[in-house]
Amino acid sequence: MPDPDTLPGSFRASIFIGFRTLLYKEVLRFWKVNFQTVAAPVLSALLFLLIFSHVLDRRVTVYGDVAYTAFLTPGLIMMSLLQNAFANSSSSLIQSKITGNIIFVLLAPLSSRVFFAAYALAAVFRGLFVAVGVWLVSVFFVDLPLAQPAWVATFAILGGALLATFGIIAGIWAEKFDQLAAFQNFLIMPLTMLSGVFYSIHSLPSFWQQVSHANPFFFMIDGFRYGFFGQSDTSPWLSLAVVGACFIVLATLTLILLGRGYKLRG
């Protein structure tokens, strides 16, 4: 990908147009099939909510007085956001590589930073659309407080950006769909399920509590949940530091891979 810093001023002035066009393409790609990319994940989260709340709502309380259904809902919202942000960027790249149309993006005078920003932002949009959908549906089943809206927005955007970045790395590395599925099934799904979506880590033995603290997904979900209840299993500032550091590391790695054209240039 050409670096716009080395091009004439007229080209540099058109970078925003290129970014906007690529972003529009990526958003349109998932929105054209929104029943599959947005509605289906919302339905899946709703089923989790209905089943777990029916079985455990009267048997489990968290943070002393928080009903289990209320505790569960932010976890499901964040889980849906993360999984769909990852799915959007990773699936877009692998499809473009397999069909060969990635060449049209690579030939455009767009830097690695612009490429990264457009794909990541589109993935965050999809994650947020799904998260808002789950939230709107959940209001019919649970009274969910909103103690700290700024924390909710911060972890939603940063968590979505982190998984979108991870999705770009997976899409770059994978050469076929089953390799991408391995990322989803053996890494993203286990880390999400074992991150405290369905339980507080304080209910675990001390050893498994320590193991949970090695899972960055735990900090994303715990910090997001803090925004609703003003309570969490760990400090939201610690969660923010961990998630922010992970994003910086993955974003740096992604920009290096894009700059080298790793598995993108023939």
Token pair for 170: 């997976």
Pair of tokens at residue 65:
């007085």
Residue 6 has pLDDT above 60, yes or no: no
Could you give the CA distance from residue 150 to residue 101 in angstroms, rounded to a whole number? 39
Structure tokens given for 229? 């209840």
Residue 157 to residues 47, 72, 127, 131, 256: CA-CA distances in angstroms? Answer: 25, 20, 9, 11, 23
* CA–CA distance, 17 with 36 (Å, rounded to integer): 29
Report how far residue 140's alpha carbon sits from residue 112's, in angstroms, rounded to the nearest whole number: 43
Q: What is the pLDDT of residue 44?
A: 94
For range 106-119, the mean pLDDT: 91
Average pLDDT, the chain: 89
Q: Where are the domains of the chain?
A: 4-260
Token couple for 53: 């709340």
The amino acid present at 19, given as its one-letter code, is F
pTM above 0.85, yes or no: yes
pLDDT in tens, 206-240: 888 888 889 999 999 999 999 999 988 899 999 99
**Mean pLDDT across 240-261:** 96
One-letter amino acid of 34:
N
pLDDT > 80? residue 78: yes
Q: Decide if pLDDT at 48 tops 60.
A: yes
Which range has the worst mean pLDDT, 55-69, 121-135, 238-252? Answer: 55-69
Q: With 70 as the cut, is the pLDDT of residue 153 above it?
A: yes
How far is it, in rounded angstroms, from Cα 214 to Cα 202? 15
Q: How many CA atoms lie within 13 A of 63 on its CB side?
A: 17
Each residue's pLDDT tens digit, 116-135 = 999 999 999 999 999 999 99
Cα–Cα distance for residue pair 129/40, rounded to 1 Å: 12
Rounded to the nearest 5 percent, the helix, strand and coil shares of the chain are 75, 0, 20
The residue to which tokens 């002393």 are assigned: 64
Handedness of CA 131, 133, 139, 142 (dihedral sign): negative
- pLDDT for 17 equals 87
Which of these ranges, 22-36, 142-156, 204-218, has the smallest mean pLDDT?
Answer: 204-218
Average pLDDT over residues 42-59: 82
Q: Name the nearest CA neighbour of 134 among 33, 43, 227, 208.
A: 43
